[in-house]
Amino acid sequence: MKVALTVNDFLRRAEEIYPDRVAVVDEPDQPAESWGSYTYAEMAARARAMAAHLDALGIGVGERVAMVSHNSARLLTALFGVSGSGRVLVPINFRLVAEEVKYIVQHSGARVLYVDPELEEAMASVECEHKFVIGSASDAPADHAPPQPWVYDEDATATINYTSGTTARPKGVQLTHRNVWLNATTFGWQLGINDRDVYLHTLPQFHCNGWGVLYAATGMGAQHIILRKVDGAEILRRVERHGITVMCGAPAVANMILDAAATWEGPIPGRDRVRIVCAGAPPPTKTIERIETELGWEFIQIYGLTETTPLLTMNRTRAEYDALSPADRAVKLSRAGAPAIGVQVRISPDGEVLARGNHVMAGYWSQPEATADAVHAAADDAGGPEWFHSGDGGYLDDDHYLTISDRKKDVIITGGENVSSIEVEDAVFSHPEVAEVAVIGVPDEKWGELVMALVVRTPGSALSEADLIAHTRTKLAHYKCPKRIEFRDALARTATGKLQKFKLREPFWEGMDKKVH
């Protein structure tokens, strides 16, 4: 007997085993009559209502449904109501500007677009065949006939998650139901998710479907606490009020919590109870040590990419570390981690991290050449399945733990978000007084890396840093825009005119063991 692995398995189990348990506590500013807090039985009913609504609109199996939203109960439910009925959910980064969202809607071919009410005005120019504001009367679950049954197919695409890479436009990563199911169960198993957990949504839900922890928490009947906007003090208040046990985020989130803890009155909540999972960039060992000593929380690091659903490696404290000092334990935990169950990781002869396993994407939506560039046989591999080429440089130590030491691809990771330097260069160069530009990532204690533009102005130009940054903000999401601009007379190039970015980066990374931060 073979039963297809699909996202429906997680919500179905929660509905059957924990029907009366509160599943989700939504933010208080969401429409109470539509969402608010509700049980797993109600969550499953709402997912079916979403599917029935798509039936009524004539949206067929395999067609795309986009949603641009902050963290919300509706987006969480859509992971099941849309994908679980055979459609493809396209969760869009709510920080993007309208032009960027337009591209994703058009490129994915989405026939339906849901927009967060806070973004209604900003997204007014984005057109779609069926467009709804989340929580509005037209979007409210209606009395439809039961949704049409979907013939379960684990190889069908569940979501298309757009991610910035080495090109000027984001690529749509196709994650199948099998990808999602195996990532969620592996992640949940190694993280120890159980029915007593309370999960705080500090990680954007659009970000690789909340790394898959959303599915794992649902399947185990854990409670979801929605957090729309990340704030260190508010996170501590939620931990105290709701008994939070698990959260995920970039190292910048951990730093916000540590800053808030410095002025927190009374004992830090969650001591010896909270597990915080970090990814996006390797945090400094001092940050890891402070999480243990100042917060009393367990620090866990993972490594992966949207293309790998994302879990490739996990680093969690083990029995052998118990006798170590917090400082020595932090050194051990600063590595990206050991390969997850079912994942193989190796290093190519030129130092690139390669991976294979069931978490690797089906491909990039409508971009077969980009897919072939990312997933192909290794030059020194005699046979077997193809390898995913991560674009990251690293090494495996004697413990078979991975350390990320460099970034081979032209991507900057700032605050856990991928930024294509080429995309930023295009935006900067669109200013008529820019003659040349090179965008690089430079180390920053708060965000890991900052986007920095090195610019040569046209002759006679008096273009200022502030004016150029303001110009890029009309083209790009704010987190992608340069935080610093340095004007130069010329940029280092080869004899053939190619920019030598490694030379441009060198002064900013001098004295550092790793070329990622």
Domain spans in the chain, listed from the N-terminal domain onward: 343-406, 411-509
For residue 153, give the 3-state DSSP assignment: coil
CATH second-level architecture of 411-509?
A: 2-Layer Sandwich (3.30)
Higher pLDDT, 491 or 156: 156
Find the length of the chain.
517
Q: Which two tokens stand for residue 164?
A: 């910035």
pLDDT band at 137 (very low <50, low <70, confident <90, very high): low
pLDDT (average), residues 139-156: 84
For residue 493, give the 3-state DSSP assignment: strand
Percent of the chain with pLDDT over 90: 74
- Range 262-270, long-range pairs (CB < 8 A, 24+ positions): 264/233, 264/236, 268/236, 268/294, 268/295, 268/296, 269/236, 269/239, 269/240, 270/239, 270/240, 270/244, 270/245, 270/295, 270/296, 270/297
pLDDT band at 385 (very low <50, low <70, confident <90, very high): confident
For residue 207, give the 3-state DSSP assignment: coil
Could you please report the per-residue DSSP string of 421-487?
Answer: HHHHHHHHHTSTTEEEEEEEEEEETTTEEEEEEEEEEPTT----HHHHHHHHTTTS-GGGS-SEEEE
Domain 343-406 in CATH: superfamily? Luciferase; Domain 3 (2.30.38.10)
Q: Which two tokens stand for residue 473?
A: 């903000």
Predicted confidence at residue 408, as pLDDT, reads 66
pLDDT band at 420 (very low <50, low <70, confident <90, very high): confident
Say yes or no to pLDDT of 496 above 60: no
Strand boundaries in 21-105, DSSP class E: 22-25, 37-39, 64-68, 88-92
207-240 per-position pLDDT tens digit: 999 999 999 999 999 999 999 999 999 999 999 9
- Please state the φ and ψ torsions of residue 465, each to the nearest 5 degrees: -60, -45
Q: Which of 179-193, 245-259, 358-372, 400-414 has the lowest mean pLDDT?
A: 400-414
Q: What distance in Å separates the CA atoms of residue 405 and residue 413, rounded to the nearest whole number?
A: 14
Predicted confidence at residue 31, as pLDDT, reads 47
pLDDT (average), residues 286-295: 94
Q: Of 221, 150, 104, give the one whose Cα is nearest residue 8.
A: 150
476 φ/ψ sector (left φ>0, alpha ψ -120 to 50, else beta): beta
Say yes or no to pLDDT of 434 above 70: yes
The partner residues of 160 in beta bridges, in order of sequence, read 174
Q: What distance in Å separates the CA atoms of residue 192 and residue 215, rounded to the nearest whole number?
A: 14
Predicted confidence at residue 398, as pLDDT, reads 94
Q: Which two tokens stand for residue 243?
A: 């008994």
User: The tokens 């839900």 sit on which residue?
Assistant: 205
**C-alpha triplet 224, 93, 376: angle, nearest 5°:** 100
pLDDT band at 32 (very low <50, low <70, confident <90, very high): very low
Max distance between CA atoms of the chain, in angstroms, equals 74
Predicted confidence at residue 411, as pLDDT, reads 81
What lies within 8 Å, CB to CB, of 33 at 6+ separation is: none
Higher pLDDT, 281 or 353: 353
What lies within 8 Å, CB to CB, of 311 at 6+ separation is: 183, 186, 187, 211, 212, 302, 304, 340, 343, 359
Predicted TM-score of the model (pTM): 0.86
Percent of the chain with pLDDT over 70: 94
Q: What distance in Å separates the CA atoms of residue 349 and residue 487, rounded to the nearest whole number?
A: 38
Q: Are strands 171-176 and 363-364 parallel, antiparallel or unpaired?
A: antiparallel
Predicted confidence at residue 350, as pLDDT, reads 85
Q: Of 513, 254, 488, give the one whose Cα is nearest residue 403.
A: 513
Residue 433, CA distances (Å) to 182, 430, 455, 463 in order: 50, 9, 10, 7
Q: What distance in Å separates the CA atoms of residue 203 and residue 220, rounded to the nearest whole number?
A: 19
Asked if 314 contacts 190 with a C-beta cutoff of 8 angstroms, the reply is yes
Q: What distance in Å separates the CA atoms of residue 228 and residue 234, rounded to the nearest whole number?
A: 11
Q: Which two tokens stand for residue 124?
A: 């007014």
User: The tokens 């919590």 sit on which residue?
Assistant: 257
pLDDT (average), residues 110-125: 96
209 φ/ψ sector (left φ>0, alpha ψ -120 to 50, else beta): left
219 φ/ψ sector (left φ>0, alpha ψ -120 to 50, else beta): alpha
What is the rounded average pLDDT for all residues in the chain? 91
153-181 per-position pLDDT tens digit: 999 999 999 998 666 689 999 999 999 99
Three-state secondary structure of 86-109? CCEEEEECCCCCHHHHHHHHHHHC
Asked if 301 contacts 314 with a C-beta cutoff of 8 angstroms, the reply is yes
